[in-house]
Structure 1
Amino acid sequence: MDCSRDFIEWLGQDLSMKILMCLNDISDLVRASAVSSSWRKFVITKGLCKQLCVRMFPEASHLANVVEIKNTFEPMATGTDISSQLTCLESEHRAYASLSRGLTAFTRKNCISDALFASSTDNYPVESIKNTLEPSETVDNWASYWSSKGSNSAAPETLIYKLVAQLCLVTEVHIHPFQAYFQFGFPIYSAKAVRFQMGYPNPLTVENDDREDFMDVKEFSEDKFVWTYTSPEFPMAQENHLQKFKLPEPVLCIGGILKVELLGRVQTQESDGLYYICITNVQAVGRPLSPAFDVEMLDEPGKYKLNYYPKSADRLLSAKSLESESSSSPCRFHRFSASIRTWEQMILNTFRGAGPVMIDDDYPDYEYLD
């Protein structure tokens, strides 16, 4: 019996796949691929980094293919021969490893870059949706808020926002209802509940639109967007503070569009007896993936090409790597390799005649490790 064979050869591809897919951290999967050349080939050719990324973030299934762009002029070449196919798989491996690490980083910021339009506006442009981009309740000593038109208590409203990048991981949405201190009783014009959708502009309707952007004076039309995610409905309190709505799971928004649905009304205006919704500020909290990644829509609806820029990704991940090194031993990789050796030896010992296995620590992808 050949004692130099490792456990992937002993157990077979199916069982080895099940074992490696038990890893839930992309860094651990990349470290496993660094143990030996056979493990590296197995992880890359089976696309395990992509599978783990899609498992953690189902929206990533909309990414049909990957192009690694080493500079702004020369995208990675593609081909049909075996060598070119392996090169493509290695590029995909690096891209999804970097994407997964970026998605699991702890950086949080407001990902909204612009307000596109609202389903109605009471007094445009004084009460425009653009006012909700400003976190302060007042600007130049004037109240800053968006107001719907007056209606019955059941009429919903919709606010559409553009995110800072076409790829953003959104974890929660914050909304601050407006309190009218200049009206009798200081009423708060909140909604009864909120719901969120994320997606991308419909290329068919955008191309036929005669304006460069969508403004809140225009009538809202659902066919202008394609929504790939819809949140549960969250109750909103009639209170004057920034209310935080945490999504059940972090959402990978592909396309960079956020829709806020304001469901139901609770407050009438004394002057006309109609119900209104007024909002001071809206924030989408998460992490943009630009400039390391961007996406291009393909001819197939709902499918994208993922463009990966390794140099930008390295710069974005360097801060996280330095922070990890300051809080842990610099020998984490070697400890992991040692534990993998022990794991492999235990499996091999279950087979009669199994002996020690040579491990190749000289692996070129160290820059993707913590």
Structure 2
Amino acid sequence: MEMGVEDTGGWDFLDWVGPDTSTCIFQLLDDPADLARAAAVSRSWRRFVIENEFCKSLCRRICPEVANFTRTVVVTRTSPRASSESSRDADFRSRERDHVVYSYLGGALVSANPSMNCILHCIGASSTDNFPEETVDNTLEPRDRVNHRASYWSSGGQDDTDVPESLTYRLNSDLCIIDEVRIQPFKAYFQPDNPIYSAKAVRIRMGHSKLPPGKESFVTDENENQKAIADENYMWTYTSPEFPMLQENVLQTFKLPRRVLCIGGVVKFELLGRMQKQATDDKYYICVCHAQAMGRSLSPEFMVDTSDPADYSILKYLPGASNLVIEDILNGDAKDSEWHSLVARHRQMRHLAMVNMLLGPVHFMDEDDDVGGVTDDDMYM
């Protein structure tokens, strides 16, 4: 799509083939970079791409969850100037802003950056047999033995093999692209015949909490947090197919049918069906020693508005946020309060993810807590 006015003897390609055919051609583009190049050909091409919202449409094709966004906001470090433009100009400026935001979002959605485990904390489990020894927090540990003791989560026992269980986790960002999930059933090496307590299948849900900011709770040594994972506390924006599990003590990988944009940073592993009966009580259990949600965080360049716990529909773009250093955050003034609070939130979560990986689970700070408690060295990790 390099044909401009000069290549057609003074005719613009868009005028030459007409708007309907041009629209059909542009809608065939499936790479955000191609749309960006097309918008750079000429002013008429740029206006055509912006007015038809091709970048937004492409993002929705890549990740249908993008349709949950009803508005975009560009958060800058300086206060926006008041405008006296007409309503027609204002509509174009709004579409132009969307074009910029969705252009960068599209690039982030198809990025080839390597995946990592995005799980930050355990929110809770549907049941736990012996708490806290068999807590869901154990599933953050990649090993099935720690300090010569077994490390795993165990459900409560059931007579019915169809009773499901679930494990719910907080991801390291409010916006994550998840490609695959991994789960390892636990092999009870301390029981006769070394039984493996796998589920029959696993299904994944992703979404966000409906609780007010700062009110989300996590598993502690005193509380297994079963009430916090009730479905009425969450809005699920994606549900995967059911993936059959093997009764094998290996980290099993389940590739999602497509990359999924998790809006709100919550993922639930639904464990469907039981396969193994425990000899001592003649009941069926599910046990997991490790779980992962593999993907990439889109923060700090992209955040969501969490002021309304029932509505995560505002997509915020922070140009240049990934290039900030600690001095930019600590020395911010009132006019950039939103910018700095959003970036500080991301860096706090990144810091906790690093500590969690190195030292084990840590308690999550509420938004009202003092971000200054994180040291300069911590935030450079």
For normalisation by structure 2, the TM-score amounts to: 0.76
Q: 1:263 — aligned with what?
A: 272
Cα distance change of structure 1 residues 138 and 90 upon mapping to structure 2, 3 Å threshold: same
Q: How far apart in 1 are the matches of 2:233 and 2:85?
A: 38
Q: 1:191 — aligned with what?
A: 199
Bigger-Rg structure (1/2): 1
Contact 1:298–1:305 (CA under 8 A) maintained in structure 2: no
- Report the Cα offset of residue 4 of structure 1: 2.0
Matched, 1:121 2:143: no
Q: How far apart in 2 are the matches of 1:4 and 1:223?
A: 61
Q: 2:65 — aligned with what?
A: 59
Contact 1:129–1:159 (CA under 8 A) maintained in structure 2: yes
Q: How far apart in 2 are the matches of 1:84 and 1:154?
A: 56
- Percent identity of paired positions between Structure 1 and Structure 2: 46
User: Of residues 156, 171, 180 in structure 2, which corresponds to 1:163?
Assistant: 171
Contact 2:50–2:95 (CA under 8 A) maintained in structure 1: yes
Matched, 1:74 2:79: yes
Cα distance change of structure 1 residues 79 and 136 upon mapping to structure 2, 3 Å threshold: farther
Q: 1:4 — aligned with what?
A: 10
Q: How far apart in 2 are the matches of 1:76 and 1:112?
A: 40
Instruction: List gaps (5 residues or longer) in structure 2.
Output: 1-7, 325-381
Q: How far apart in 2 are the matches of 1:161 and 1:88?
A: 36
Matched, 1:309 2:318: yes
Letter in 1 for 2:302: F
Q: How far apart in 2 are the matches of 1:199 and 1:266?
A: 29
Secondary structure in structure 2 of the residue aligned to 1:241: coil
Secondary structure in structure 2 of the residue aligned to 1:223: helix
Matched, 1:213 2:222: no
Q: How far apart in 2 are the matches of 1:270 and 1:192?
A: 19
Q: How far apart in 2 are the matches of 1:180 and 1:146?
A: 11
Q: 2:239 — aligned with what?
A: 230
Q: 1:40 — aligned with what?
A: 46
Contact 1:115–1:160 (CA under 8 A) maintained in structure 2: yes
- Report the Cα offset of residue 221 of structure 1: 1.9
Query: What CA deviation, in whole Å up to 9, does each residue of 1:51-95 have, x standing for no partner?
Result: 111111111000111111122x53687876344433332222121
Letter in 1 for 2:243: F
Secondary structure in structure 2 of the residue aligned to 1:258: strand
Cα distance change of structure 1 residues 137 and 89 upon mapping to structure 2, 3 Å threshold: same
More displaced, 8-17 or 22-31? 8-17
Contact 1:137–1:143 (CA under 8 A) maintained in structure 2: yes
Matches within 5 A, 1:113-152: 113-152=120-159
Q: 1:90 — aligned with what?
A: 96
Cα distance change of structure 1 residues 78 and 57 upon mapping to structure 2, 3 Å threshold: farther
Q: 2:112 — aligned with what?
A: 106
Contact 2:177–2:295 (CA under 8 A) maintained in structure 1: yes
Cα distance change of structure 1 residues 34 and 14 upon mapping to structure 2, 3 Å threshold: same
Cα distance change of structure 1 residues 15 and 298 upon mapping to structure 2, 3 Å threshold: farther
Query: What CA deviation, in whole Å up to 9, does each residue of 1:105-133 have, x standing for no partner?
Result: 12211111111000001111111111111
Contact 1:69–1:76 (CA under 8 A) maintained in structure 2: no
Q: How far apart in 2 are the matches of 1:118 and 1:278?
A: 12
Q: How far apart in 1 are the matches of 2:151 and 2:134?
A: 7
Secondary structure in structure 1 of the residue aligned to 2:188: coil
Q: 2:298 — aligned with what?
A: 289
Letter in 1 for 2:206: M
RCO greater where, 1 or 2, for CA within 8 Å and sep 6 or more?
Answer: 1
Matches within 5 A, 1:330-341: none
Secondary structure in structure 2 of the residue aligned to 1:249: strand
Matched, 1:243 2:249: no
